[in-house]
């Protein structure tokens, strides 16, 4: 299959079968950029409500560039990989200060800014400005590895080889649509487990299909195997709960959570709670009933949170991370990681059940 045919086949398939998504209705660089950051490691289904809400809260670059980081993190709450939100806010500040609120159409400028790796830079420049930068994300890598019959894992290590193969097939113009069409093909047809080759617009030139290798390329990636067990303490006083802020750097930096920590080898959960609270809060505690368990998967590990109702026997020390006693409703103002959001939901349901029980017994 020659150059024109590959690009044209993909583009005409995309025009007919591509999904209508809110960020595809526009070439506005700000909107393209936000959607591309949200879509990293995250499905279209999960992103769509966040994108809609985001555009109401931060409709343009100036609003985002001047927004407090906490409100940006709050809008991101539950979407994961929070560094993306921090980078969006940081780069928006730079665009407002140095570029009059515009995204400059320059690879060399963008690639130096927070959150602009080769993928995001190429995606924004091609989709918003129609500049000739191909993109390689996991979907595109998979399609191309199958199409060109390149074995191995989906990993950036193969990118040079993929680019060399792809170069002669690129369209002369319409690179943004071409990139989106390839990504869409990977999302809808050339899917990881069960590619729908019969529906594929480029099946005639696909070497993977010809060799019958379409289901074994790329080699499956292993799931995160490290599993951590942690305890979480819920302290409640007069309808308010104790939360504290995570450090400004590292995993889930700057988000809020209930106090807790990892269970050390040989420790019981109760021992871990008492030790963690002594270390974190400088307080002695009484461990009460088990409330709930929450499992959350990160990129490299899975955490199981064991949540206990606890009572303070001594006052927490004044030093340490910022802490607040907050009502469940007041928690809406703070950004939490997904694990904590599920604990808050549990506490909300428990409060509702208690209120119902009370009304029945009256």
What is the binding site for ligand SF4 (CB under 6 A)? 143, 146-147, 189-190, 195, 197, 200, 202-203, 206, 208-209, 214
Rounded to an integer, what distance in angstroms lies between the CA atom of residue 88 and that of residue 103? 12
Contact 177, 253 (CB under 8 A): no
> How do strand 301-312 and strand 256-257 relate by DSSP bridges?
unpaired
Per-residue tokens: 333:
């103002």
Shortest gap between Cβ of 203 and ligand SF4 (angstroms)?
4
**37 or 200: CB nearest ligand SF4:** 200
Rounded to an integer, what distance in angstroms lies between the CA atom of residue 33 and that of residue 11? 22
Shortest gap between Cβ of 127 and ligand SF4 (angstroms)?
22
Shortest gap between Cβ of 197 and ligand SF4 (angstroms)?
3
**11 or 272: CB nearest ligand SF4:** 11
Q: Is 221 exposed, middle or buried (0-12, 13-18, 19+ CB in 10 A)?
A: exposed
Rounded to an integer, what distance in angstroms lies between the CA atom of residue 221 and that of residue 190? 17
Per-residue tokens: 184:
């869409």
Shortest gap between Cβ of 17 and ligand SF4 (angstroms)?
13
**80 or 218: CB nearest ligand SF4:** 218
Shortest gap between Cβ of 204 and ligand SF4 (angstroms)?
8
Shortest gap between Cβ of 170 and ligand SF4 (angstroms)?
16
Contact 47, 307 (CB under 8 A): no
Active site (annotated) includes residue 151: no
**146 or 274: CB nearest ligand SF4:** 146
Per-residue tokens: 217:
């390329």
Contact 159, 150 (CB under 8 A): no
| Helix intervals (H) in the chain | 3-17, 29-39, 44-57, 61-66, 69-76, 83-98, 107-110, 118-129, 138-147, 159-166, 175-188, 207-210, 269-281, 338-361
Phi-psi region of 269 (alpha: psi -120 to 50; beta: other; left: phi over 0): alpha
Rounded to an integer, what distance in angstroms lies between the CA atom of residue 183 and that of residue 141? 9
**5 or 71: CB nearest ligand SF4:** 5
**208 or 335: CB nearest ligand SF4:** 208
User: Catalytic positions, please?
Assistant: 36
């Amino acid at each position: 299959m020659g150059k024109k045919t590959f690009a044209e086949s993909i583009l005409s398939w995309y025009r007919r079968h591509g999904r209508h998504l809110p960020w595809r209705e526009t070439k506005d660089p700000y909107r393209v950029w936000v959607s591309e950051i949200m879509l990293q490691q995250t499905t279209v289904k999960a992103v769509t409500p966040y994108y809609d809400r985001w555009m109401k809260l931060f409709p343009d670059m100036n609003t985002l560039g001047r927004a407090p980081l906490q409100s940006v993190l709050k809008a991101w709450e539950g979407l994961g990989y929070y560094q993306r939100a921090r980078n969006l806010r940081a780069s928006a500040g730079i665009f407002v200060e140095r570029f009059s609120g515009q995204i400059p159409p320059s690879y060399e400028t963008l690639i130096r800014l927070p959150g602009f790796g080769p993928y995001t830079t190429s995606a924004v420049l091609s989709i918003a400005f129609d500049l000739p930068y191909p993109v390689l994300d996991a979907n595109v890598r998979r399609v191309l590895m199958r199409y060109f019959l390149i074995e191995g894992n989906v990993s950036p290590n193969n990118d040079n080889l993929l680019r060399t193969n792809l170069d002669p097939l690129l369209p002369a113009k319409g690179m943004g649509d071409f990139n989106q069409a390839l990504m869409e093909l990977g999302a809808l047809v050339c899917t990881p487990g069960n590619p729908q080759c019969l529906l594929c617009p480029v099946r005639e030139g696909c070497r993977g299909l010809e060799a019958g290798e379409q289901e074994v390329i790329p080699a499956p990636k292993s799931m995160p195997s490290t599993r951590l067990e942690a305890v979480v303490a819920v302290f409640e006083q007069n309808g308010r709960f104790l939360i504290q802020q995570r450090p400004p750097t590292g995993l889930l930096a700057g988000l809020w959570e209930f106090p807790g920590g990892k269970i050390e080898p040989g420790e019981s959960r109760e021992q871990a709670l008492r030790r963690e609270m002594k270390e974190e809060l400088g307080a002695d505690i009484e461990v009460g009933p088990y409330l709930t368990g929450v499992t959350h998967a990160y990129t490299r590990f899975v955490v199981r949170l064991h949540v206990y109702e606890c009572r303070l026997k001594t006052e927490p020390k004044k030093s340490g991370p910022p802490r607040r006693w907050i009502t469940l409703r007041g928690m809406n103002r703070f950004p939490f990681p997904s694990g904590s959001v599920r604990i808050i939901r549990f506490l909300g349901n428990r409060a509702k059940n208690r209120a119902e029980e009370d009304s029945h017994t009256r």
